[in-house]
Structure 1
Amino acid sequence: MANPSGLKYLSNALATLDQLSNSSSSIDGVSPDLETSIRFAGTQLTQAAGVLLRLSQDIISQAVVTFTRFWIGAEGGSLRIYSVKDVSAAALYMTAKLSFQPTSPRSVLNVYAFLLSQDASPLWFINPKGSPETPPAPETYCLTEGGYQSGRLVLLRTESIILRTLGFNTHVALPHTITLTYLQTLGVSSSAVARRSFEYLNAALLSPQLLYVTHQPNALAVAAIYLAAREEGVKLVDDEWWEVFDVDREELGFLVVGMRSMEGFARAEREKWQGRTIPMVVDQVDGEIERRRMMEEGE
């Protein structure tokens, strides 16, 4: 990934056009729509696990970006080699370990065992039936000691694979703090605008356009403020204020469309996979690819 000039702690290494158009998964025969669906589910899994682990949103957001980066480009990970659930867990564990809020392998694996349980999980793409009305039996989602020991080995091995794949570059600059600074600069004191801006930024983490790896934090912040201010009816300064923050009209327009499309995209994904689980492990990905092949050939 190319690293732009400027203050490196306020910017990120962005994906190149070649990386975006040639993923390792697509080379291995995973269709673009299937890859998008699986990646979308993986970001939601990471977010949900972070919440259950009581990690800060900053840590969760960084883990989601790390998870997303892992799959990008021909040199990235392939969904036919690495399981999404393992990469998600390792990205979250690694990010937390490098922060002020580390968490143990056992805690991470226990949370993922619960979220991946087809009887207990509240996640629609894992448990299409929905959360059970009565609590499921603990054995349906609790790890055995043997399961923990084997899971721990996979977790640590996957962590090292992520680090090597990313060239040990774990830096992730987020747009949230910049957003607050920009709001102050623009003289916006509305807490509703700030809250709505953060909602757009958090939703953009799940974007199929991979907004966090294609645009710098300052541009994401500007787009979120632009949308939030319009929705809340708060008038910003006249003229093209976004140019002050080094964002041109074309980039702003792209990000605005991308952020506004998230709700519709999420709804379409739920409809597309209604009643079915989204593959979270390699064997399931292979099975879905084979299912689609048979359908196409009328077998």
Structure 2
Amino acid sequence: TPSRKDQLSENDETNLQLYACQLIQDAGILLELPQTTISHAQIIFHRFYMKKSMKEFCVRHVAMASLFISCKIQETHRSIFHFLQVFIDIIYPELYYISPDIVELLKSHLIRTERYILIELGFTFYNIELPHQYILFVMHILEGHEDLTQTAWNYCNDALRCSVLSLSAKPQVIACGAVYMSAKEHSRVLPENPAWWLLFNTTRDELEFVEKHIKEMYKRPKAVYLNVLND
């Protein structure tokens, strides 16, 4: 990636990816956005950093702009003031008073970063396909219970925080991997003769690939913000 070429360690890059995706998730919840808007934003974030370095663009600003763009694409608009207020509350929880200057500064970062993302990605984010729709389809075919579906949905959300899965795994593979993990957690035996995942053009190796990366992500310490910008 450009960040690795820019001498950012793999550990710091992964930490910042997870931090930013959590920031998007937290802001999305406070803004009462649907998960589809949040997940869309996380994929936009990952795609941008396949073209640009984290040492060149602040992950907080890119996370914020990614969610802002996603709100427009998904037609889940929020006022820019409310949007900025939520991010300020999350990023600067110690501030008791938010001056107009801080709001204007963050607004300028948002507008400028949004423009950079649009320039780099063009309109490619309109063809983003999320795995969530496959979760519902898979569980309908397998007649999965609500608890099984909810757990799979949660794994699916977490999978999109991982850049490897978000950028390289097909949506149906992520969905099947999430169902595979959910079935294990709930001790639910799913059909294997023939194997249920073959219906979705997925292999067992791909299921285990998804499981491996999600579990590795869970083992990591809590992600924190690091200022890695070039001077």
TM-score normalised per structure 1: 0.72
CA distance in 2, matches of 1:234, 1:40: 30
Specify the alignment match of 1:176 in structure 2.
Answer: 132
Establish whether residue 94 from structure 1 lines up as the match of residue 69 from structure 2.
yes
> 2:201 is matched by which residue type in structure 1?
D
Number of residue-to-residue matches in the alignment:
229
More helix, by proportion: 2
The one of 280, 285, 296 equivalent to 2:228 is 285
Establish whether residue 71 from structure 1 lines up as the match of residue 49 from structure 2.
yes
Does the CA contact (< 8 Å) of 1:61 and 1:205 recur in 2? yes
Q: How does 1:260-275 map to 2 (within 5 A)?
A: 260-265=215-220, 269-270=221-222
Provide Cα deviations, 1:69-126, integer angstroms capped at 9, x if missing partner.
Answer: 1111xxx12111111111011001111022231012212211111111152xxxxxxx
Q: How does 1:177-216 map to 2 (within 5 A)?
A: 177-188=133-144, 190-207=145-162, 210-216=164-170
By how many angstroms is 1:33 displaced? 1.3
> 1:97 is matched by which residue type in structure 2?
K
Provide Cα deviations, 1:121-155, integer angstroms capped at 9, x if missing partner.
Answer: xxxxxxxxxxxxxxxx621xx2x223323322221
Using CA pairs under 8 Å that are at least 6 residues apart, name the structure with larger relative contact order, 1 or 2: 2
CA distance in 2, matches of 1:51, 1:187: 29
Q: Determine what percentage of the aligned residue pairs are the same residue.
A: 28
CA distance in 1, matches of 2:166, 2:64: 20
Does the CA contact (< 8 Å) of 1:163 and 1:170 recur in 2? no
CA distance in 1, matches of 2:21, 2:113: 17
The one of 154, 157, 165 equivalent to 2:112 is 157
> 1:138 is matched by which residue type in structure 2?
Y
Establish whether residue 106 from structure 1 lines up as the match of residue 81 from structure 2.
yes
Establish whether residue 44 from structure 1 lines up as the match of residue 22 from structure 2.
yes
Mark the structure with the bigger radius of gyration: 1
CA distance in 1, matches of 2:93, 2:151: 33
> 2:66 is matched by which residue type in structure 1?
A
By how many angstroms is 1:227 displaced? 1.3
CA distance in 1, matches of 2:166, 2:21: 12
The one of 165, 178, 184 equivalent to 1:230 is 184
CA distance in 2, matches of 1:248, 1:99: 31
Establish whether residue 241 from structure 1 lines up as the match of residue 196 from structure 2.
yes
> 1:258 is matched by which residue type in structure 2?
H
> 2:166 is matched by which residue type in structure 1?
Y
Alpha-carbon spacing, 1:28–1:259, altered in 2? closer, same or farther (3 Å): closer
Provide Cα deviations, 1:248-298, integer angstroms capped at 9, x if missing partner.
Answer: 222122112222333212xxx23xx7xxx521xxxx2158xx9xxxxxxxx
Which stretch shifts more, 26-35 or 55-64?
26-35
How large is the RMSD of aligned CA atoms in angstroms?
1.9
**What secondary structure sits across from 1:261 in the alignment?**
helix
Does the CA contact (< 8 Å) of 2:58 and 2:229 recur in 1? no
The one of 69, 72, 92 equivalent to 1:117 is 92
Question: Please, which runs of 5 or more residues in structure 1 have no aligned partner?
Answer: 1-22, 120-136, 291-299
Alpha-carbon spacing, 1:181–1:246, altered in 2? closer, same or farther (3 Å): same
The runs of 4+ residues in structure 1 deviating greater than 6 Å are none
Establish whether residue 146 from structure 1 lines up as the match of residue 101 from structure 2.
yes
The one of 246, 250, 274 equivalent to 2:205 is 250
Provide Cα deviations, 1:148-198, integer angstroms capped at 9, x if missing partner.
Answer: 23322221111111112113211321111211111111232x111101101
Does the CA contact (< 8 Å) of 1:204 and 1:212 recur in 2? yes
The one of 59, 62, 66 equivalent to 2:37 is 59
By how many angstroms is 1:244 displaced? 1.5
